[in-house]
Structure 1
């Protein structure tokens, strides 16, 4: 269970139920018990587009836990949806390898004024011209209300109608593949949203007494967890198989509670590898984790989980704090060029070292891991949106920061609008329909700032429930026609183009990366084979000693190469090739 899909066959797992019914057009149809706590019913006259709901022990009608479509939102009935009715045109798409790639993260609802899959697809030419390889889409599961980041999703097998529903997502993926772009989908398996989650009556989907700031933990290792694990793994396979998605970003895997000998992530990786072999295209799993644990991406035959990559916040923190000067909260151990040099050569600052923010030692060494397995960003939805006012780095800091990121040994990821230095904030927004949740969201947000070490931000954040907060977060595409946005966009394009033609820049071997720096003068030079990436992070002009070389790309027209000296204006960067022979 479940069996091969047909529109008139209804199946649901409800191991503790004494009766199960499927309701269609007000008529309740009894279901038959089957093995393993499953229930089934075959009902004539049902086809694609039929609305239905389940009743557990005569209770209220609830959506199907595996509902493929929720046309009326999270509180309405499910709708039968046949994946086979969609006509794909991506028959020549053979996938994309993560190695050497650049990822672009987007929130569909704020990427365009319309906030739909269709309107996002109309902007793909911008991403092609930028030179990125993957689009990473923030979660698309149904959420309460009209707008949300997506991490309050429920009905995990469905696609929010706010963006265009299941067909809308397929149109977007098809268009991405036609444009040569892979698609990574952000999925959330550590919790479900606080409103519209009706899994509890069906079975033991959640841990009693275990959870996180975001909600109750899912049951991955207690009684009944075999089927719960199948539920989430089946969800992952659905996106990759039925929606032609190329990879998944797994939200906050450190919040997964699993003490079984074979961890959920390892089991998921095995199943995804099997599907990739069957489909004949690469499928990528990327974990978000704050554990600094390379076992996530260590091959299974070497005792790891076998995921493909992991988000690396230490690189972000080192870049951000070195550029901005911020040292509060979780930036307290970052900011020096010594720290920046370490993360550029070792991936993690905290690789067994003491973390002041955590008050304990943290992480383990990862320098042996290929750099492409670390997805690193100068900005992402968390690091912008979890600021009280959703503010971004200014263009003058983005220039040098992007230069270091896009010439580094890791897999770079950009956040929408970063490439032109948009002045649009990315704020935290919700649209809860539950009055209690709506009233309490602002207070919950304030408590989160305090927990993350930013008590001074607690009263600065706008109300997440205010529609204006959402509207303010929409990108302003007219900025591309104005300075300094136009020239910054060209800089990003040039950096990505250079990355694609110089193999030294995509060499993932961290032991081949060397960094010289002057803490006082605030400059550093990153060695990438015969290339040198020289950056001045300070407010004054810097004179950097350099071997005889040629400037390949510079962020400022006032950069001067004078023999064995490189004169860098404030907050500027140059990529050079050292003369050989």
Structure 2
């Protein structure tokens, strides 16, 4: 049972081509296992196999049947590999046949990673209804904006109906309140019809607290390590083979059975694995087998807080083979450059000097001393292409993990928001937007949960309060259990047609269009990047090249006009965009063309792009 079958899901209940149900459960320490069918109230014993697996093939179980497993004639538990929990995390599992969905995306081909312009969203708060079906109604809007990939925050079943998704306890199960497995398949199919790639956020570093029954089946966790969120998953201790198979099969399922294009893997620095082959590398190797069988193309993108290129280097170069990683350091440097406070881990960043280094070197800390960490940190990333790094000015963590959940729109001026947007979209990396930022959504995105266990709910409240002590925050954090925290985090779609939100939306759309159409911006060659940092003026000049095209991005983070000179000659420099123009609610129109070298007085808090040729 330990061999990975990339062609089909094996764990849980699956239906073969003859319509028979194949049941597989891993419970190595059980003496007896039965499956209880709720519709007929009958119990069927499973057969013990090697390595602790229990199996059954039967024509009695049909799609739609609800069931639980009975361990040693005592505990009735839902399926660890359940595909549906119609009554929530404590209820019975429901058998689902993933093969019956009528896919129409056979002509879809995943776009190159370098072309990803990603839009991160949370299913429950992206639309008023908070479902996959209602999300489909907004896809044309995203396509029109210029987005090429959506990134969906985790959808694995969690307790209640309100959660960011990082408290999932059934990794194979799609949240019932979002619409379940078939609705997710339908959403992905529709995305592909519209030319959108789909990234799914998954959590392989911990399992949520409420409804987590994994330990009652097998040694899914280990005491060797700790994580900030609970017991560490057992990837290298006794009985780890079954755990590894569980998560490898999970990753393959999303690609094969849901046609997901990429996985964003949450906080992989919290995955503890000293095996000869790291679990991430093994997932990559199994994905390679799947791609060979199907001819498909998929990506693995990791959230990583280690500045360690081993994660994103190819396997044949001694790495784990991940395609790309988030770099929070770009965000931190950008945030401090915008004049926001330097508390907590932001204290390590020196405004535009750090931002200039992020443009040039990807990692701000690449072997240098970090005062926040009290040690030298990181390695250099000279050989890693721009498409291996995801950058952003906002994301769910950086907004929602503020005590009050304020977005940039509440913290910064309209002009500074435009500057931050330009700073991200002109970068030599993969840009990502957080839902609503493109029209300056003023509503907060707060942390919310809906645990039914009162003790757990209180522990979450206390945990949030303690977390903010490191940032010296005063006042009380909003109650994450409140319905208001969830409802207040929903996007206000009616604002897009109102000013100044309409202007910001048009500005973002134009920026994305420029990035796509100018080869010096769309080709992510880090070797053709030059950065000048004028600390005294708080100005960055970012020059990017491709063949004979030069694109110059000028960023003034100061509150004053600043004169800047760029000693790069061209017979004519053409303005692509200037955030200070009246068109974008600015007060100063910059010249459409400049001859020779560029000499400009940059308005305060402004972003400007000139190019030596149109394309």
Same fold (TM over 0.5): yes
Deviates more, 1:530-539 or 1:507-516: 507-516
Q: Deviations over 1:329-388 (max 9, x none)?
A: 111121422111111010011111111221211111113210110011110000001101
> 1:560 and 1:146 mapped to 2: Cα distance?
50
The alignment status of 1:197 with 2:216, answered yes or no, reads no
Could you tell me which residue of structure 2 aligns to residue 400 of structure 1?
419
Counterpart of 1:517 in 2: which secondary structure? strand
- Which of residues 346, 370, 376 in structure 1 aligns to 2:385? 370
Does residue 545 in structure 1 map to residue 561 in structure 2? no
- Distance in 2 between the 1:80 and 1:285 partners? 29
Q: Post-superposition shift, 1:100?
A: 2.6
Q: Which residue of 2 aligns with 1:438?
A: 457
User: C-alpha distance in 1, partners of 2:244/2:184?
Assistant: 25
Please tell me whether the aligned partners of residues 50 and 79 of structure 1 are also in contact (alpha carbons under 8 angstroms).
Answer: yes
The alignment partner of 1:162 has SS state of helix
Residues 1:516 and 2:532 aligned together: yes
C-alpha deviation, 1:153, in angstroms: 0.1
Return the alpha-carbon distance in structure 2 between the equivalents of residues 380 and 245 of structure 1.
Answer: 21
Aligned residue for 2:174, secondary structure, equals coil
Task: Output the CA distance in 1 between the equivalents of 2:350 and 2:498.
Answer: 32
In 2, the alpha carbon distance for the partners of 1:347 and 1:243 equals 33
Secondary structure (helix, strand or coil) at the match of 2:177 reads coil
Q: Which runs of 5 or more structure 2 residues have no equivalent in the other structure? A: 2-9, 582-587
Matched, 1:503 2:534: no
Q: Once the 2 structures are TM-superposed, how far is the Cα of residue 209 of structure 1 from its aligned partner?
A: 4.9
Match of 1:355 in 2: 370
Distance (Å, rounded) in 2 between the aligned partners of 1:535 and 1:578: 18
Identify the residue that residue 328 of structure 1 maps to in structure 2. Answer: 343
- The residue that corresponds to 2:4 in the other structure is none
The aligned counterpart of 2:430 is: 411
Normalised by the length of structure 1, the TM-score is 0.97
Q: CA deviation at 1:96?
A: 1.8
Q: Is the 8 A contact 1:368 1:510 kept in 2?
A: no
Q: Where does residue 297 of structure 2 map in the other structure?
A: 282
Residue 271 (structure 2) aligns with: 256
* Contact map agreement 1:142 1:153 (CA 8 A) in 2: yes
Say if 1:147 and 1:162, in contact at 8 Å, map to a contact too. no
Residues 5-16 of structure 1 mapped to structure 2, 5 A cutoff: 5-6=15-16, 7-16=20-29
Displacement of 1:28 in angstroms is 2.0
Q: How does 1:108-507 map to 2 (within 5 A)?
A: 108-394=123-409, 395-450=414-469, 453-457=470-474, 459-507=475-523
Question: Any unmatched runs of 5+ in structure 1?
Answer: none
CA distance in 1, matches of 2:21, 2:309: 46
Q: Judge conservation of contact 1:429–1:464 (CA < 8 Å) in 2.
A: yes
Cα distance, 1:277 vs structure 2: 2.4
- Farther-moved stretch of structure 1 (373-382 vs 80-89): 80-89
> For residue 6 of structure 2, what is the aligned residue in structure 1?
none
Q: CA deviation at 1:554?
A: 1.4
Please, which moves more after superposition, 178-187 or 438-447? 438-447
Pairwise CA RMSD of aligned residues? 1.5
Aligned partner of 2:89 among 71, 74, 87 = 74
Per-residue deviation, 1:460: 3.5
Paired position in structure 1 for 2:57: 42
The answer on whether the counterparts of 2:269 and 2:304 sit within 8 Å (CA) in structure 1 is yes
Q: How many residues align?
A: 577
SS in 2 for 1:64: coil
Mapped partners of 2:296, 2:390: distance in 1: 21
Distance across 2 between alignment mates of 1:71 and 1:28 = 21
Q: Which residue of 2 aligns with 1:17?
A: 30
